[in-house]
Amino acid sequence: MRSAKDFFAPLAVGAPQPVREVPARPTRMIHFFDPSNPKMAAKVPDMIGTVDVLLGNLEDAVKADNKLAARQGLVDIAKATDFGPTQLWTRINALDSPWVLDDLTTLVTEIGDKLDVIMVPKVQGAEDIHYIDRLLAQLEAKAGLTRPILVHAILETARGMVNVEEICGASPRMQGISLGPADLAADRKMKTTRVGGGHPGYLVRQDPVDGDIQGQRSTYQQDLWHYTVARMVDACAMHGIYAYYGPFGDIKDVVACEDQFRNAFLLGCVGTWTLHPAQIAIARKVFSPDPADVAHAYRVKAAMGDGTGAVMLDGKMEDDASLKQCLVMVELAQQLGA
């Protein structure tokens, strides 16, 4: 683990950055709240310990007229609250907005000691992370903070997607990346109108067999986000940071929400955003390993002895590589105390 001192070392732009071990704290759900909404703000104390991350959102979904109230609301909540095991994150406004400089200045100097991670929207390339990194270093020094604030980028522009590898490695502060399916869809000119999830028109149809009526063959809906999530996961894994699904806007469709979260989990994501209390239990269930998978992983571990060679277990061949997969499950279970 790198020390805090390393975080404040000047960043040599373009130089390869060492992989930083990120703190192994589970972040299965990043629960969004609007600090300018008194009803939502009042619920914050009750959520401590029940969600892994509470995120005070300042960006999209907060009306322009409420931006200052949201920022001040977050300061007030953070000062008045002991977050215990729950991490406190914020999503600042976009780097080209009129609010972001004051967001950073106010939050880091007023509540920097409480903030674990700053989520940066619409990140386009490493230069955006370098900018945030430098600014954070200055503000942390001014505020006398000894613990570095980490950075999380949202992938929600085509340019950000193309630059995802350099974004992940742009600073040792990088904690992780989330998919931003709504903005990304718009930027790519996809033909969707939703916040995350699938589309019934994105499908494959079975080949015709004799007797089939044209147009009535079985169809299977495909996952619109498979390529994007897989690419994001690879970039994160290469740099030792965490990948997350993002928002799922159809709050009532808990089935599709669970499916979308599970696809992301199986592909390597560690968590997701939750926009409504109904999604918290779904995220907890999906992003915690199945006890049967964990039990199997421990059996393979025991059967593999020193970890080399191959063994047969329940008629299946296990070897060094299947053991490594099992160890991913074991490690996650241990982090979650499962």
Contact residues for ligand GLV, defined by CB under 6 A: 60, 154, 156, 180-183, 195, 246-247
Question: Pick from ligand GLV, Mg ion, none: which does 35 bind, CB < 5 to 8 A by kind?
Answer: none
Residue with tokens 């009526």: 213
Question: Pick from Mg ion, ligand GLV, none: which does 246 bind, CB < 5 to 8 A by kind?
Answer: ligand GLV
What tokens does 202 get?
Answer: 């994105």
Q: CB of 272: closest distance to ligand GLV in angstroms?
A: 12
The one among 180, 181, 196, 198 contacting Mg ion by CB under 5 A: 180
Distance of CA 166 to the CA centre of its chain: 17
Question: Pick from ligand GLV, Mg ion, none: which does 172 bind, CB < 5 to 8 A by kind?
Answer: none
Tell me 64's DSSP state: G
Inter-residue contact 49 to 84 (CB < 8 Å): yes
Instruction: Using CB under 5 A, count the residues that bind Mg ion.
Output: 3
Annotated binding site: 91, 156, 183
Dihedral (Cα; 60, 287, 188, 118), 10-degree rounding: 40
Rounded to the nearest 5°, which phi and psi values hold at 238? -60, -35
How far is residue 101's CA from residue 107's CA, in Å, rounded to a whole number? 10
| Side chain identity at residue 249, one-letter code | G
Annotated binding site for substrate: 91, 156
* Complex with ligand GLV: residue 153 or 300, whichever CB lies closer: 153
Question: Pick from ligand GLV, Mg ion, none: which does 181 bind, CB < 5 to 8 A by kind?
Answer: ligand GLV
Q: CB of 192: closest distance to ligand GLV in angstroms?
A: 11
* Complex with ligand GLV: residue 140 or 156, whichever CB lies closer: 156
* Complex with ligand GLV: residue 60 or 113, whichever CB lies closer: 60
Annotated binding site for Mg(2+): 156, 183
- 183 binds Mg ion per the rule CB under 5 A: yes
For residue 178, give the 3-state DSSP assignment: strand
Q: CB of 240: closest distance to ligand GLV in angstroms?
A: 24
Rounded to the nearest 5°, which phi and psi values hold at 251? -60, -35
Helix (H) or strand (E) holding 33: strand 29-33
* Complex with ligand GLV: residue 140 or 183, whichever CB lies closer: 183
* Complex with Mg ion: residue 112 or 180, whichever CB lies closer: 180
* Complex with ligand GLV: residue 112 or 246, whichever CB lies closer: 246
Of 97-156, which residues contact Mg ion (CB under 5 A)?
Answer: 156
Question: Pick from ligand GLV, Mg ion, none: which does 153 bind, CB < 5 to 8 A by kind?
Answer: none
* Complex with ligand GLV: residue 26 or 246, whichever CB lies closer: 246
CA dihedral sign of residues 281, 265, 224, 62: positive
For residue 61, give the 3-state DSSP assignment: coil
Dihedral (Cα; 10, 15, 19, 25), 10-degree rounding: 50
Q: CB of 99: closest distance to Mg ion in angstroms?
A: 15
Q: CB of 181: closest distance to ligand GLV in angstroms?
A: 5
Q: CB of 194: closest distance to Mg ion in angstroms?
A: 13
Tell me 48's DSSP state: B
How far is residue 55's CA from residue 203's CA, in Å, rounded to a whole number? 35
Inter-residue contact 237 to 223 (CB < 8 Å): no
Q: CB of 99: closest distance to ligand GLV in angstroms?
A: 16
Tell me 21's DSSP state: P
CA atoms within 13 A on the CB side of 211: 0
| Side chain identity at residue 327, one-letter code | L
The footprint of Mg ion (CB under 5 A) covers 156, 180, 183
